[in-house]
Amino acid sequence: MSGAERLGITADVLVIGFGKGGKDLAGTMGREGRRVVMVEQSDQMYGGTCVNIGCVPTKALVHHADVRRPGDDPQSWYHDAIGAVTDLTTMTRGRNFEMLDTLDTVAVVTGRASFLDATTVEVAAGDDRLTVSAATIVISTGSVPVVPDIRGLRDSAYLATSTDLLHTKELPRHLVVIGGGYLGLEFAAMYRQFGSEVSVLEAFPGFMGREDDDVADVVVGILRDQGITLIPDAKVTEVRDGSVDTTVCYEVGGRPRTLRADKILVATGRAPAVEGLHLGRAGIRTTERGAIEVDEHLRTSRPHIYAIGDVNGGPQFTYISQDDHRIVADLLLGDGTRSTADRRAVPHTMFITPPFSTVGLTETAARERGHNVRTAGKLVARATATHRPRIMGDTRGLIKLVIDADTDLVLGAALISIDSQEVINLVALAMRHDVPARELGNSIYTHPSTTEVLNELLGTVARAGAQVPAGGRPGIARSPSTYWARPKPNDQSSGPFSV
């Protein structure tokens, strides 16, 4: 479009947002012969958040940080890493565009979309306007970082989101992270590996509060041993910019404290990206949190309009967006039986080093739900069948599985180990298909691999729950073969495990 033109086209399916779910759905419908229009507001976001500013670049940077040797200059290494990751995302973005652009039935339009009514969207590109009408509309606009309302923060010259950091080639000397969730801790660990001094301010009384204490202690111990300053129960009150750095003012227990930094990363969550869509014109309802309201088939308050991915307020993971596309595709092309209610045992990974992966219930949650719980776990360094971590030179971490003693089914797992991001998928698959813990423990796995630790932990446990051994931690029943001893606390860490 050029010269302030106004055009109008009609499609079978209109997809707003080039993220994982939207891209896959557009491709699926296009290959089925449907006329599809894909609208993306930026040519730098073909492929969505994961490819451009999320999973792919951040995990690539984690890798570059991990392979930096002690003698490598931090600033030079970081500068080159950012360049390499930019090249990677540019290549991946191009391939994502080609995936749709090569389909004759799919048209990619770059511009900002806003609803005119329930079946028509206007796309603005400069002075040009394009109207797209479609019988089926799918909103896949993702989410955006939330910057909390803290005095001086939003106007600070040193403020950065995760997206900003991915485009900054100067390594921060001291990075202060506001928010101790998955994103905050991933970036904290990464930048510490690159050589930055890192402090994390968390508003809650502790870190990893949703995990069992033994699991949280190991994760926190690893991060602190890495040299990251973790400050819980911290209320940030003000940010004061100076000429060369900024001062972050906060309180712990009502007592004022300060930190100086040359970069502040805000990692306090993300909100559904709905600004400018004018959802009200289409009669699309939103929740109190601003997400688009959907049913179990991801239909909005307008049955022909769907919302998939982060924008619908569900779990903010790329693979959830991908599964959302399967639900909508099944409704449009299949028998329509697939829904969000089908999801069981969805795994998660926090890519610190070694990675921390979870699925299902914690031990605490399982007991609260009335399960007769048996646990199987060991510190990685204390396990025999952890040859892969030993080969990789990193035996930090913990493997823990939560089992229903009456049914022998796995209820959950927490894995802090080399390759945990892969092993957790096997555990999740076993949970989804009700594979007994004994069978998971007696299966044949490649050697040497991290997976074979399941043989050690699960292969010999009795089906009935064991009693708590003398001196054991109250509330945790372990058989002798699955009980992990607590070493003496490491003087360099506040955690109870030596890691």
Residue 19: which CATH number? 3.50.50.60
Q: 469 in a domain, yes or no?
A: no
Does 432 share its domain with 283?
A: no
The domain containing residue 82 runs over which residues?
6-144+271-342
Return phi, psi of residue 48, to 5°: 90, -170
Strands 159-160 and 263-266: parallel
- Maximum CA extent, the chain: 81
Of 159, 190, 252, nearest to 58 by C-alpha is 190
Residue 463 has a pLDDT of 42
Residue 261 has a pLDDT of 97
Q: 465 in a domain, yes or no?
A: no
* Residue 126 assigned ligand-binding role: no
Does 189 share its domain with 75?
A: no
Strands 174-178 and 197-201: parallel
> Crossing angle for the helix pair 182-194 and 74-101, nearest 10 degrees?
130
Alpha-carbon span 329 to 155, nearest angstrom: 43
* Residue 142 assigned ligand-binding role: yes
Task: Select from 268, 301, 327 the last residue of a domain.
Answer: 268
Does 338 share its domain with 354?
A: no
**Per the structure block, which two tokens stand in for 151?**
């005095």
Does 323 share its domain with 408?
A: no
Residues 6 or more apart whose Cβ sits within 8 Å of residue 321: 19, 20, 21, 22, 48, 140, 308, 309, 310
* Residue 259 assigned ligand-binding role: no
19-31 pLDDT tens trace: 899 999 999 999 9
Q: 472 in a domain, yes or no?
A: no
Domain count, the chain: 3
Q: 151 in a domain, yes or no?
A: no
> Crossing angle for the helix pair 318-333 and 20-31, nearest 10 degrees?
30
Task: Select from 268, 297, 326 the last residue of a domain.
Answer: 268
Residue 52 has a pLDDT of 85
Q: 488 in a domain, yes or no?
A: no
Does 366 share its domain with 294?
A: no
Note whether 100 and 27 are within 8 A (CB): yes
Strands 120-125 and 246-252: unpaired
Does 429 share its domain with 326?
A: no
Active site residue 447: yes
Alpha-carbon span 110 to 48, nearest angstrom: 13
Does 12 share its domain with 129?
A: yes
* Residue 182 assigned ligand-binding role: yes
The count of residues in the chain is 499
Residue 428 has a pLDDT of 98
Residue 210 has a pLDDT of 94
Does 305 share its domain with 429?
A: no
> Crossing angle for the helix pair 20-31 and 74-101, nearest 10 degrees?
30
Residue 49 has a pLDDT of 85
Alpha-carbon span 57 to 195, nearest angstrom: 18
**Per the structure block, which two tokens stand in for 41?**
């507001």
* Residue 141 assigned ligand-binding role: yes
**Per the structure block, which two tokens stand in for 96?**
């994502």
* Residue 185 assigned ligand-binding role: yes
Task: Select from 342, 362, 388 the last residue of a domain.
Answer: 342
Give the residues of the chain that fall short of pLDDT 70.
Answer: 1-6, 460-499
| CATH value at residue 403 | 3.30.390.30
Q: 480 in a domain, yes or no?
A: no
Does 296 share its domain with 373?
A: no
Q: 226 in a domain, yes or no?
A: yes
Note whether 243 and 157 are within 8 A (CB): no
Residue 6 has a pLDDT of 62
The dihedral built from the CA positions of residue 213, 365, 321 and 16, taken in this order, carries a sign that is negative
Note whether 361 and 411 are within 8 A (CB): yes
Residue 48 has a pLDDT of 87
Does 287 share its domain with 364?
A: no
* Residue 202 assigned ligand-binding role: yes
* Residue 170 assigned ligand-binding role: no
**Per the structure block, which two tokens stand in for 119?**
């079946």
Q: 36 in a domain, yes or no?
A: yes
* Residue 116 assigned ligand-binding role: no
Does 190 share its domain with 232?
A: yes
E-strand ranges in 328-389 read 348-350, 356-360, 373-379
